[in-house]
Amino acid sequence: MKKRIPSLSSNFAGLISENAWYVDKTNFIQQLEDLNFKYLFFLRPRRFGKSLHLSMLEHYYGIQHKNRFTELFSEYYIGKPENTTPLKNSYYILKFNFSGVLTEKKDQIVPSFINKLISGISQFKKDYGILENPELDDIFQDKTAVGVFEGFISGLRQKGFEGKIYLLIDEYDHFTNELFAFNTEHFKEIVSRNGWVRKFYETIKTYMGEGIIDRFFATGVTPVTLDSMTSGFNVAQNITLNSDFHNMAGFTESELRGMIENTIYEKGKFDLDVVISDMRSWYNGSKFSKDATERLYNPQMVISFLSSFSRNLTYPDEMADINVTSDYKK
């Protein structure tokens, strides 16, 4: 049975439940676990599938999704019994998304960042029910990012929490990149030795050393913020240029062909080879490792094109998704 062209949603469970085609990247779970490093950064351009990858990790490792494992993963590589790892559904997931942190005014940045922490911690409470609202309300009164995070971990310990946290951070550098572009001095100030961003990551580093944060995976666009923190967060490995993870986000041409064949293609309706050749000219331009053997297609570009093309089998007037091209200017 044909599947639907995936939406642009970054919710893994949502894609599966709506019978959308998911380009199987679950083999990378094994590869990530096989590394000697538990704390990782993975950088790619915006709209390249990073958030969906984080969502996939969340659903694989989160203990709250244990009863849905077969539903979510049985069709994919990691769902086969011989490929499933012992760590599946064994972690408490704490997830932060730092896109949308306000940067127009200096006095907006910290409160906006703290709101992102509150959102992630509130979801943790909803998923696991370990902390109650009165306790969280006290924690959320703190006016510093470090204070909120330390209060959260302290609250867990007071409850006798003995689990392991997998910390996922999406768009770790979204707001710092904006500052780097438009307010370089303030960027330097917040990532410097006494800067609050650096202090926040130093706090994470401390809890990694203590074992309560057992794994860490962060996505972003550039290494500028990471490099600027130097020893403040020197426990993490940047696997961005590692050829083994070249196509962990983005589509290879064979993956693109598989998507079309399993969604909209019907023999005689259009020439699949011609369409792929044209898409190659427009969208097949990304290579992130000097040892990589093939270039990658931007997922949003591909999905936007196929969604339009599938309606009447004609090419859209605008071949480049404006949402992607506008992001590349940032």
**Which three-class secondary structure state does DSSP give residue 163?**
coil
Task: Give the long-range contacts of residues 311-315, CB within 8 A, separation 24 or more.
Answer: 313/269, 313/270, 315/278
Whether 146 and 197 map to the same domain: the answer is yes
Whether 204 and 271 map to the same domain: the answer is no
Residue listed under structure tokens 């003995």? 162
31 part of a folded domain: yes
Of 216, 245, 274, the domain-final residue: 245
Token pair for 319: 């071949």
Token pair for 309: 């093309």
126 part of a folded domain: yes
Token pair for 258: 């598989």
DSSP state of 179: H
Whether 293 and 215 map to the same domain: the answer is no
Report pLDDT for 7: 86
Tally of structural domains, the chain: 2
Q: What type of residue is 20?
A: A
Whether 155 and 93 map to the same domain: the answer is yes
Whether 228 and 84 map to the same domain: the answer is yes
Whether 265 and 191 map to the same domain: the answer is no
Expressed as residue numbers, the domain containing 205 is 24-245
- Using CA atoms, how far residue 125 sits from 24, 95, 118, 131, 132, in Å, is 30, 12, 10, 6, 7
3 part of a folded domain: no
3-class SS letters over 6-65: CCCCCCHHHHHHCCECCCCCCHHHHHHHHCCCCEEEEECCCCCCHHHHHHHHHHHHEHHH
Q: What type of residue is 224?
A: V
204 part of a folded domain: yes
Whether 171 and 269 map to the same domain: the answer is no
Q: What is the C-alpha separation between 270 and 6, in angstroms, rounded? A: 20
11 part of a folded domain: no
pLDDT, averaged per 10 consecutive residues of the chain (330 residues), comes to: 90 96 98 96 94 98 98 98 98 98 94 98 96 92 97 96 98 94 92 92 96 98 89 89 96 97 95 96 90 93 95 87 54
Q: What is the C-alpha separation between 186 and 293, in angstroms, rounded? A: 40
Whether 198 and 285 map to the same domain: the answer is no
Q: Do the Cβ atoms of 5 and 265 come closer than 8 Å?
A: no
Residue 216 host element (H or E) = strand 213-220
Whether 213 and 102 map to the same domain: the answer is yes
Report pLDDT for 229: 84
CATH number at residue 43: 3.40.50.300
Strand residues in the chain grouped as ranges (E):
39-43, 92-97, 165-170, 213-220, 237-238, 284-286, 296-297
Report pLDDT for 322: 54
Whether 95 and 113 map to the same domain: the answer is yes
Q: Do the Cβ atoms of 295 and 280 come closer than 8 Å?
A: no
Q: What is the C-alpha separation between 232 and 194, in angstroms, rounded? A: 10
Whether 135 and 49 map to the same domain: the answer is yes
Dmax (CA) for the chain in angstroms is 65
**Which three-class secondary structure state does DSSP give residue 262?**
coil
207 part of a folded domain: yes
Of 190, 224, 245, the domain-final residue: 245
Q: What is the C-alpha separation between 76 and 262, in angstroms, rounded? A: 15
Q: What is the C-alpha separation between 217 and 238, in angstroms, rounded? A: 10
134 part of a folded domain: yes
102 part of a folded domain: yes
Report pLDDT for 8: 84
Token pair for 185: 């001095």
Token pair for 221: 């666009």
Of 186, 214, 245, the domain-final residue: 245
Whether 218 and 296 map to the same domain: the answer is no
